A and B are shown apart, each in its own frame.
Chain A
Amino acid sequence: MRVDIKVKLLVLFVVFSVISYLMITKSPKLGLDIQGGVSITLKVDIDKVIKDQYIGLGKDVEKKLEGKAEILSTKLEEEGVLISLLDPTKLYVARETIQKELPQVLVESRESNLFVKFTEWEVQRIKTATIKQAVETLRNRIDQFGTLSANIAQKGKDRVLVELPGVVDPDRAKAIIGKTAQLELKEVVDSSYSKEELLSKYNNSIPENLQLLEGVEETVEGKKVKEWFIVRRVPVITGAMLKDARASMDQGGNPAVNFELTSEGATIFGEATQNMIGKRLAIILDDKVMSAPVIRSRITSSGQITGKFTTEEANDLAVVLRAGALPAPVSILEEQVIGPTLGKESLDKTLIAGIVSFILVGIFMIFRYAVAGFISVVALVFNLLALWATMLMFDITLTLPGIAGIILNIGMGVDGNVVIFERIKEELKAGKTLRVSIEEGFKRGFNAIFDSHITVIIAALALLEFGNAPLKGFAATLSIGTFINLFTAIFLTKLFLDLVLGGRKHFKYAV
């Protein structure tokens, strides 16, 4: 045996060992379309975060200019804050001050006003931080919810993909991940069961420092009623100061959620409630007043949220509060709920398709190319094993279209072999010996095979970029398979042919 063949065999042996090792030690990651589960894509309302930040920025600017330039008004605009000064001659001073104190903003003069906005870099930073925090919070919530092997990942610029495999109640999953869970405690200024009456007290224009919120719908004497509240905009306490939240019962025995504040929160809360005795405190969840009890005495570290909860809802709310609020409201853009039976059924069908196509292709190759055909089938098996091992190695999720990609590899994978084998036949016809013909066939076939494989990979790459999760699986198997095939068609088949040919001058190469 020639030395180079020995080396090649050794390499083959090592590769084969790695493949076997991977196949024994790891199991494939199955997509939701196969194992069933819930997949939800959420859109994080990043624009709202930016807007909230601008509200904060307006206040910052006011503070920085105190004593330097008096402000006539601050107006929130689409992409910044417009500041009018009482004395326009102080424009330059004000501008210098803001620029010096707040490096993350840009200040422009607009006529006799100042327009303050975040730098591009700052906007980007806020966006990135928001989406990152959203992913973190969702991960926390789902961890507490107790779903194993959930996948939570950022998708695009403002989206989060949540995948919960297995049997999951979609409504409950949505309640847990879809809730912003922004808990706020605010002082009630006024309330009424009639929105119109409440508004008319303020001549239909509520001052900046107050806000109108709706309460929970209740049934009183068979009629559905809802209380409306005017509360102070600045909260006494927010969910950020929560230490713990647990499901419990209220005095009437209904499900409720007890919460406990951090020591910092407790100090603030104690002081605030001290001054609020006799007044009502609204407990607000996502801009809805859950309840508004009257403060009877100073409260420090704990409180209770009541509402019309079921036990499960109370439990879930506690989970969500413990995990923290999302940095911005989210909305559901895409949702998929797949029952476990459908996936199993589809998997079985696809596997049958794979086996049928393998048998058909195998029979044909052996029929047409005899010994060489058999060799190409062996190479094809190796190709599939290597593809499988690569998927295991990189933890690529196997989806139904992904399996279709593997099946296509069976059909398209022999292409390289066919190009070479047909070429060998031509060379043989030209009167060359088998050994020379094989060498020529491989040499001349290489270019065509290389170019044609690259084009399939170009198409697969486009899919990897734009497809949804199942299609990414297809793009992965198709491109990896095609790539591996480039090697098996050229090196592996050649090695086997050389081995079979050995010292012989001829064997039954086709007819």
Chain B
Amino acid sequence: MRNFLVEPPNIDFLRIRKVGYLLSLGLLTLSLILFFTKGFNLGLDFTGGTSIHIKMSSPSSTSSIRSALKEVKLDDALIQEIGTGKTEFEIRVSIKKGGSSQVVQKVKSALDRSFHGNYEIRKVEFIDALVGDEMRKASIYSLLFVMVGILLYVGYRYEPTFALAAIIPIFHDAIITLGVFSFLGREIDLTVVAAILTVLGYSLNDTIIVFDRIRENIKIRGRKSLESIINRSINENLGRTVITSGTSLFAVISIFLFGGDSLNSFALALLIGIVFGTYSSIYVAAPLILEMERLIKSRVIKEKPINPEVK
């Protein structure tokens, strides 16, 4: 264990790349199907509305809270438990029911009647529908901004083929992370978008370290046996890739397990993102360089007969 992967293994990653492609395509398709059929459970940040976080002094249930809210005609509110203690709940009321002051007052009066003040309002959040729309747009823009930024930077530091090969897996990671959130029905709020942005940067970090090695090996050995160079580079870096993903996962899992509810979704998105980011930098990004090079070569060969005289 202490010395695992010190000796680079000799795994033929490129030979099994078809398996990787199939797996990735499968997950991507599944994610996209989920996007359109199940959709997303969007958080308050995007939908707007009022969210009230209460803590009861004795265990209760969502149904008893719902029946309490019936009196103020708010029983169609979304009520969910926070944590596992059966004492903390979130009541979310749609923006159509009015501003936060009215909603909070109604909820208070209903809870006072049913629970006689044995509760505490810990947090109230109100977001106007206008802001929700803006946040949605801002999230999409910022994801695009990061992608373009990365594309330009990698294109500048490496070669255009490398840049494209780096950006495709990143899309892949973001889509799959969102797909898992859709599948689990977990709420997507701004912190999740932040986590996905971070994953974009992080996943690329992994990819770049492999690319850097490929670039170095190309310098030493030339472009001819690209396949074996890529294989060799992935294998040489495997120890590092596994270790740094591991240490990052230590941090993320700590936040996921101990960090409390407010950071839970954030940590989950990072967790999924880092796992798939590591996978994609090995199984998707590096093989894509090979595919791109082949694509370019075949173009060049096809174009040759058109101008046979030109030398």
A411 to B164, CA, bound (A): 28
Query: Residue-by-residue, is B107-138 near A (CB-CB < 8 Å gives 1, otherwise 0)?
Result: 00000000000001111111110110000001
Q: Is the CB of A468 within 8 A of B190?
A: yes
Q: Is the CB of B247 within 8 A of A511?
A: no
A463 to B122, CA, bound (A): 27
**Residue in contact with A341 in the complex, picked from B122, B131, B150, B243, CB distance below 8 Å:** B122
Q: Is the CB of A353 within 8 A of B128?
A: no
Q: Is the CB of A360 within 8 A of B131?
A: no
Residue of B131, B141, B197 ringed by the most chain A CB atoms within 10 A = B197
Q: Is the CB of B208 within 8 A of A452?
A: yes
The stretch of A83-91, A268-276, A401-409, A491-499 in contact with B is A401-409
Query: Residue-by-residue, is A424-464 near B (CB-CB < 8 Å gives 1, otherwise 0)?
Result: 01100100000000000000100110011111111111110
B260 CB within 8 Å of chain A: yes
Q: Is the CB of A334 within 8 A of B146?
A: no
**Residue in contact with A338 in the complex, picked from B101, B122, B213, B251, CB distance below 8 Å:** B122
**Residue in contact with B128 in the complex, picked from A334, A339, A470, CB distance below 8 Å:** A334
A456 to B99, CA, bound (A): 39
**Residue in contact with B250 in the complex, picked from A361, A452, A457, CB distance below 8 Å:** A361
**B-chain residues with CB within 8 Å of residue A461 when the two chains form the complex:** 149
B198 CB within 8 Å of chain A: yes
B210: nearest chain-A partner, CB-CB: A448
Q: Is the CB of B123 within 8 A of A478?
A: no
A305 to B254, CA, bound (A): 59
- Total interface residues on B, CB under 8 Å, equals 75
Q: Is the CB of B247 within 8 A of A458?
A: no
Q: Is the CB of A332 within 8 A of B142?
A: no
**B-chain residues with CB within 8 Å of residue A346 when the two chains form the complex:** 260-263
A336 CB within 8 Å of chain B: yes
A356 to B251, CA, bound (A): 8
A410 to B248, CA, bound (A): 8
List B53-77 residues whose CB lies under 8 Å from chain A. 53
A455 to B216, CA, bound (A): 20
B14 CB within 8 Å of chain A: no
B187 CB within 8 Å of chain A: no
Q: Is the CB of A336 within 8 A of B131?
A: no
**A-chain residues with CB within 8 Å of residue B243 when the two chains form the complex:** 368, 418, 422
**A-chain residues with CB within 8 Å of residue B275 when the two chains form the complex:** none
- Total interface residues on A, CB under 8 Å, equals 75
**A-chain residues with CB within 8 Å of residue B3 when the two chains form the complex:** 510-511
A458 to B261, CA, bound (A): 28
B6: nearest chain-A partner, CB-CB: A425
A261 to B252, CA, bound (A): 62
A482: nearest chain-B partner, CB-CB: B201
**Residue in contact with A462 in the complex, picked from B145, B153, B255, B260, CB distance below 8 Å:** B145
**A-chain residues with CB within 8 Å of residue B255 when the two chains form the complex:** 350, 353, 357, 404, 407-408
Q: A335-B124, A459-B198, A466-B138 are in contact. Are A411 and B262 (CB under 8 A)?
A: no
**A-chain residues with CB within 8 Å of residue B141 when the two chains form the complex:** 466
Q: In the complex, what's the smallest C-beta–C-beta distance from B202 to chain A, in angstroms?
A: 6
**A-chain residues with CB within 8 Å of residue B104 when the two chains form the complex:** 170
A-B contact count (CB 8 A): 220
Q: Is the CB of B125 within 8 A of A455?
A: no
Q: Is the CB of A332 within 8 A of B247?
A: no
Q: Is the CB of A360 within 8 A of B194?
A: no
**A-chain residues with CB within 8 Å of residue B197 when the two chains form the complex:** 459-460, 462-463
**Residue in contact with B254 in the complex, picked from A341, A345, A354, A466, CB distance below 8 Å:** A354
**Residue in contact with B266 in the complex, picked from A337, A401, A425, A453, CB distance below 8 Å:** A401
Q: In the complex, what's the smallest C-beta–C-beta distance from B234 to chain A, in angstroms?
A: 14
Q: Is the CB of B202 within 8 A of A412?
A: yes
List A387-410 residues whose CB lies under 8 Å from chain B. 400-401, 404, 407-408, 410
A387 to B33, CA, bound (A): 43
**B-chain residues with CB within 8 Å of residue A337 when the two chains form the complex:** 121, 123-125
**B-chain residues with CB within 8 Å of residue A415 when the two chains form the complex:** 205, 244, 247-248
Q: In the complex, what's the smallest C-beta–C-beta distance from A444 to chain B, in angstroms?
A: 7
List B173-208 residues whose CB lies under 8 Å from chain A. 190-191, 194, 197-198, 200-202, 204-206, 208
Q: In the complex, what's the smallest C-beta–C-beta distance from A347 to chain B, in angstroms?
A: 9
Give the secondary structure class of A's interface: helix
**A-chain residues with CB within 8 Å of residue B250 when the two chains form the complex:** 357, 360-361, 364, 411
Q: Is the CB of A455 within 8 A of B2?
A: no
Q: Is the CB of B213 within 8 A of A448?
A: yes
**Residue in contact with A339 in the complex, picked from B122, B130, B248, B260, CB distance below 8 Å:** B122
Q: A357-B251, A415-B244, A463-B197 are in contact. Are A458 and B146 (CB under 8 A)?
A: yes
**Residue in contact with A364 in the complex, picked from B150, B246, B266, CB distance below 8 Å:** B246
Q: Is the CB of B123 within 8 A of A418?
A: no
**Residue in contact with B248 in the complex, picked from A352, A412, A451, CB distance below 8 Å:** A412
A361 to B200, CA, bound (A): 22
B100 CB within 8 Å of chain A: yes
B161 CB within 8 Å of chain A: no
**B-chain residues with CB within 8 Å of residue A419 when the two chains form the complex:** 209, 240, 244
A100 CB within 8 Å of chain B: no
B36 CB within 8 Å of chain A: no
Q: Is the CB of B190 within 8 A of A467?
A: yes
Q: Is the CB of B123 within 8 A of A342?
A: yes
**Residue in contact with A33 in the complex, picked from B130, B237, B262, CB distance below 8 Å:** B262
A19 to B121, CA, bound (A): 40
B239 CB within 8 Å of chain A: yes
**A-chain residues with CB within 8 Å of residue B205 when the two chains form the complex:** 412, 415, 452-453, 455-456
Q: A407-B251, A411-B249 are in contact. Are A456 and B149 (CB under 8 A)?
A: no
Q: A342-B122, A349-B258, A404-B263 are in contact. Are A333 and B248 (CB under 8 A)?
A: no
29 of the cross-chain contacts (CB-CB < 8 Å) are: A171-B101, A333-B127, A337-B124, A338-B123, A339-B123, A349-B258, A357-B253, A360-B254, A368-B243, A407-B255, A408-B198, A408-B255, A411-B247, A411-B252, A414-B244, A415-B205, A429-B6, A447-B212, A448-B212, A448-B213, A451-B153, A455-B153, A455-B208, A458-B150, A466-B138, A467-B194, A468-B190, A475-B194, A511-B3
Other CB < 8 Å A-B pairs besides A342-B53, A407-B259, 20 of them? A43-B130, A170-B124, A333-B127, A334-B127, A335-B124, A341-B122, A350-B260, A361-B247, A407-B254, A408-B198, A408-B252, A408-B270, A414-B247, A415-B248, A425-B6, A452-B208, A455-B153, A459-B200, A460-B198, A466-B142
Closest 10 CB pairs of A and B: A411-B251, A459-B201, A349-B260, A357-B254, A452-B205, A448-B212, A456-B201, A335-B126, A411-B248, A337-B124
